Amino acid sequence: MAPTPIGTVTRGTTNPNRLRRMDRWIAATHGAELRRATTPLAVDLGYGAAPWTAVELLRRLRTTAPGTRVVGIEIDPARVAAAKPYACEGLDFRHGGFEVPVPGRPTLIRAANVLRQYDEEEVAAVWQRLCARLAPATPGHSGGTSPAGGLLVDGTCDEIGRRHVWVALGPEGPRTVTFATRLGSLDRPSDLAERLPKALIHRNVPGEPVHAFLRDFDRAWAAASPYASYGARQRWIRTVRTLSTDWPVRDGATRWRQGEVTVAWEALAPRE
């Protein structure tokens, strides 16, 4: 008899192309680790009522790491049954939860719009459980700008993927927070606050680091208003460049041009 999956059924809302920003970031920043793995395995944890996000994840990751396999995991067995017709070479669907019922250690676990539906006090234990399932650093890793080993991405986005915030974690714990948006839809950077993951959304109050970060982000955006005549992208790049003088921004202009900025987790971590 199979063990009872760990977790609860979520709403399961999903739309095609909803997670494109997260997927592109994963492919760009974690692609080398996927290529180094002998049998790279990515898990789409809690893919929802339809399998579109898992299908798209396979396609996007295979552009950078052709040997990648994807397993979609859902705690609702009816959703697994509905997804099975979409299984193909490199893509499978399984019944399960936070125990991540796959053989071996995944190189990637993506949990998008899952933990947002849990209580804040539950997040740390789930993170710890999922990080323990990640692959360790692969042999031959020679260092570089990104830590080695598997990656857990816990994030939240709007229904059509215009605004997204996610936390990236390795086997050792949280690493970074990324803010990503369709720049044409943005009035000010703090609009992204409504998409903060569960670990941060209730901390957007005075005295907490994430609140100070979003305040400074808005100020830098306002100061960069003259660049708006060159387009929202140039204004965003100027904003992030200014922001990086006071905050530990971990990426560069290549990612900023995509409407992203990644900051060290320690700078935004909730105060006790």
Give residue-wise pLDDT tens across range 132-157: 999 987 655 544 445 689 999 999 99
d(CA 160, CA 132): 31
Host H or E run for residue 180: strand 173-181
Give the position of tokens 């703090």.
190
Give, as one character, the DSSP assignment of residue 140: T
First-last CA distance in the chain: 41
* 106 within 8 A of 138, measured Cβ to Cβ: no
Residue percentage of the chain with pLDDT more than 70: 96
Q: Is the pLDDT of residue 222 over 80?
A: yes
More confident residue, 17 or 145: 17
Q: Is the pLDDT of residue 217 over 50?
A: yes
Q: Is the pLDDT of residue 223 over 60?
A: yes
Amino acid identity at 39? T
Query: Half-sphere exposure (CA, 13 Å, Cβ side) for 71?
Result: 19
Q: Is the pLDDT of residue 26 over 70?
A: yes
pLDDT digits (tens, 9 = 90+) for 238-251: 999 999 999 999 99
Q: Is the pLDDT of residue 10 over 90?
A: no
The average pLDDT across 180-198 equals 96
Strand, coil or helix: 151 = strand
Q: Which of 117, 126, 92 is nearest to 10 (CA)?
A: 117
Q: Is the pLDDT of residue 18 over 60?
A: yes
**For the sheet containing 163-170, what is the strand order?**
91-95, 69-74, 41-45, 108-112, 151-157, 163-170, 173-181, 260-264
Q: Which of 5, 67, 75 is nearest to 42 (CA)?
A: 67
Domains delineated in the chain = 20-180 (3.40.50.150), 183-266 (no CATH)
Q: What is the pLDDT of residue 139?
A: 57
Reading the block at residue 182, the tokens are 């369709």
The average pLDDT across 81-106 equals 97
Q: Which of 38, 48, 51 is nearest to 10 (CA)?
A: 48
The average pLDDT across 255-264 equals 97
Query: Half-sphere exposure (CA, 13 Å, Cβ side) for 105?
Result: 18
Q: How many residues does the chain have?
A: 272
Q: Is the pLDDT of residue 43 over 90?
A: yes
